[in-house]
């Protein structure tokens, strides 16, 4: 099974969520398009401690931390979805991490969420709390539903906001898979703690 981690925007917590998923499900990790450093694949590798999971190399490793279409233009390359192929996983499930939000452009025609459709991946949506996040989350959900893409559920990240979470879940119809608090330190122990929580809901 392929899982595509996307979010309502940049710095929503996709990489942390990806690490938690990799740890909980003992699956592989892949970030097809990386813009700038540090590489998210290196961060995930530092946050997991199992030898079962494999970190696959990027299809596009771009220099500038910007929207992929712009970063690619600066590197004088064009991102071509037809050239982005799923890596072999030796039987493991695969967590695919997107870049930015769902409608971030990859080139003149394709956006990030088109990768999920290409790989027939089930989507995990990360929503972080801030003023305006309800609107951004529901707009993201509307885009996913318009494309008829399968969604496993939502993971909320940051200082808890029960009111925001309740209305988002009610309007979306998606389940909450996990709630991640605002952690002072993110390390292997943090990832393990949330991985254990995720397993409880994932296989319930």
Distance CA 178, CA 127 (A): 11
pLDDT per residue as tens digits for the range 57-113: 999 999 999 999 999 999 999 999 999 999 999 889 999 999 999 999 999 999 999
- Domain count for the chain, please give it: 1
What average pLDDT does this structure show over 117-132? 96
Chain centre distance of CA 176? 15
Confidence of residue 203 (pLDDT cuts 50, 70, 90): confident
pLDDT per residue as tens digits for the range 13-52: 999 999 999 999 999 999 999 999 999 999 999 999 878 8
Q: Which of 89, 115, 85, 82 is nearest to 100 (CA)?
A: 115
Question: In terms of residue numbers, what domain contains 112?
Answer: 2-202
Residue 185 φ/ψ, nearest 5 degrees: -135, 135
pLDDT per residue as tens digits for the range 139-179: 999 999 999 999 999 999 999 999 999 999 999 999 999 99
146 in active site: no
Confidence of residue 1 (pLDDT cuts 50, 70, 90): very high
Q: What's residue 49's pLDDT?
A: 84
Residue 22, domain CATH: 3.40.50.300
In three-state form (DSSP H/G/I as H, E/B as E, the rest C), the secondary structure along the chain is CEEEEEECCCCCCHHHHHHHHHHHHCCEEECCEEECCCCHHHHHHHHCCCCCCCEECCCEEECCCCCHHHHHHHCCCCCCHHHCCCCCCCCCCEEEEEEEECCCECCCCCECHHHHHHCCCEEEEEEECCCCHHHHHHHHHHHHHHCCCCEEEEEEECCCCHHHHHHHHHHHCCCEEEEECCCCCCCHHHHHHHHHHHHHHHCC
Q: What's residue 204's pLDDT?
A: 72
Q: What's residue 52's pLDDT?
A: 86
Q: What's residue 28's pLDDT?
A: 97
Distance CA 147, CA 88 (A): 27
Are the beta carbons of 56 and 24 closer than 8 angstroms?
no
Kindly name the residue from 23, 31, 152, 171 that is annotated as catalytic: 31
């Amino acid at each position: 099974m392929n899982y595509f981690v996307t979010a309502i925007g940049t710095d929503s917590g996709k990489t942390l969520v990806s690490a938690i998923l990799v740890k909980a499900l003992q699956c592989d990790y892949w970030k097809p398009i990386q813009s700038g450093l540090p590489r998210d694949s290196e961060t995930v590798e530092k946050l997991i401690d199992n030898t079962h999971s494999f970190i696959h190399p990027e299809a596009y490793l771009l220099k500038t931390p910007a929207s992929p279409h712009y970063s690619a233009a600066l590197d004088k390359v064009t991102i071509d979805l037809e050239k982005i192929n799923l890596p072999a996983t030796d039987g493991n499930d695969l967590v695919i991490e997107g870049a930015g939000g769902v409608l971030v452009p990859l080139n003149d025609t394709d956006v990030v969420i088109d990768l999920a459709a290409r790989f027939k991946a089930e989507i995990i949506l990360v929503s972080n709390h801030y003023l305006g996040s309800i609107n951004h989350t529901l707009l993201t959900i509307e885009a996913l539903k318009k494309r008829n893409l399968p969604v496993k559920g939502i993971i909320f990240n940051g200082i808890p906001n029960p009111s925001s979470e309740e209305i988002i879940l009610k309007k979306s119809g998606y389940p909450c898979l996990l709630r991640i608090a605002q952690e002072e330190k993110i390390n292997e122990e943090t990832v393990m703690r949330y991985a254990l929580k995720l397993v409880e809901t994932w296989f319930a």
